[in-house]
Amino acid sequence: MRRSAAKSHIDDSLLICYLLTLVAGVIMVYSASSIMAESRFGSHWLFFRKQFMWAAISVFFIWLIGKVDLKRLAVYSAPGLLFSMLLLCLVFLMEARNGSQRWLFLGPLTMQPSELFKFLMIFYLAFSLSNPKRNLADLRQLLFPYVPIVGLGLALIVAEPDLGTAIVVFVTAVGLFFLAGARLKHLAYSAAPMVLGGSFMVLVLGYKKDRILSYLATLADPLQGGYQVQQAALTLGAGGLFGVGFGDGRQKLFFLPYPHTDFILATMGEEIGFIGLLVVLGLLAFLVYRGCRIAVAQPDKFGFLLAAGMTWSLFVNIAINVGVVTALLPVTGLALPFFSSGGSSLLISSMAIGVLLNLSQRVKT
């Protein structure tokens, strides 16, 4: 193809894979939540309707993101990030749920500002780190302003408490700094205070210490861990190779905690089996693969960092959830993108796909 005839187009394979994943996620939320919703709220359609509504909103936002110039929009990422920090402060005025203050209640809707902070942080870092005047070989330019901004956001998220999202934010930021050219030893210097602070909170102050101890017990035998880990292991094992059948899972009958949110992967494992889980994980892996392809094909550093950041964040989120459900990691309360019930997770994960689809149009073919 001649250069003059080259044209840009959206990544159709990424879009199709996303839509398949979205539909599968809404269906699985219904299967995992219908009995509990009927018992507690009088309608087995409750969580399905909410997830379907958020899926429709997510598709609209993807369409909207596809119409904007992301580089021009990134100019406003810094004030947007500060606004998300304000929202993170407001959650402490809200009523606690399950011992956490992670949500803002906006009438019938709820949102997690930590998800918005994660998304806007990637935008901000991609825009700022792509500035040719930024010299990351200089430790001072790495420490300021990034460590105070990211550190404050992390501190607010940890205080909610939301350990899972805090880990995703931290690992995503470190990954972006590395891809932008920061030296490994400088990253170690910058990350050390946060790692030491987290260790102090767990080992001295007792923050989430019971989960860490439960995790250590599961290393020898998953059935020796906490109740959630035990039930997740039993649920996954009950599915066998092909599963017990869609909708026929028994562990969601008030045995497995959060069968439609944090542990929906276990619910799917019971109903669609190991083969079905391979298909689900294959869809998620393909989304990550296309994100990587889009990132490396970008014509500038901003596009590369933005696409890589969105992809890396999705991968880390998926990997942690799978690790928790399979007892490879401590319980963190982190949703599985596109499958777990919850509007904030679905919307922000979908907006990340929207960014990747937008950036795919910058690639000439």
Q: Give the residue extent of every domain in the chain.
A: 3-360
Q: pLDDT tier at 109 (50, 70, 90 boundaries)? A: confident
Question: Comparing 69-73, 137-141, 150-154, 181-185, which segment has the lowest mean pLDDT?
Answer: 137-141
Strands 104-106 and 109-111: antiparallel
Burial of 192 (0-12, 13-18, 19+ CB in 10 A): exposed
Share the mean pLDDT of the chain: 87
What pLDDT shows up at residue 230?
79
Identify the top-confidence range among 2-16, 138-152, 185-199. Answer: 138-152
**Taking 60 as the threshold, does the pLDDT of residue 7 lie above it?**
no
Buried b (16+ CB within 10 A) or exposed e, 211-224: beebbebbeeebee
**327 — alpha (psi -120 to 50), left (phi > 0) or beta?**
left
Q: pLDDT tier at 119 (50, 70, 90 boundaries)? A: very high
Whether residue 53 contacts residue 109, with contact meaning beta carbons closer than 8 Å, is answered with: no
Mean pLDDT of 51-70: 95
Sign of CA dihedral 98, 99, 103, 106: positive
CA distances, 230 to each of 87, 98, 327 (Å): 35, 20, 9
What pLDDT shows up at residue 204?
57
- Tell me how far apart the alpha carbons of residues 98 and 110 are, in angstroms, rounded to a whole number: 15
Mean pLDDT of 137-154: 84
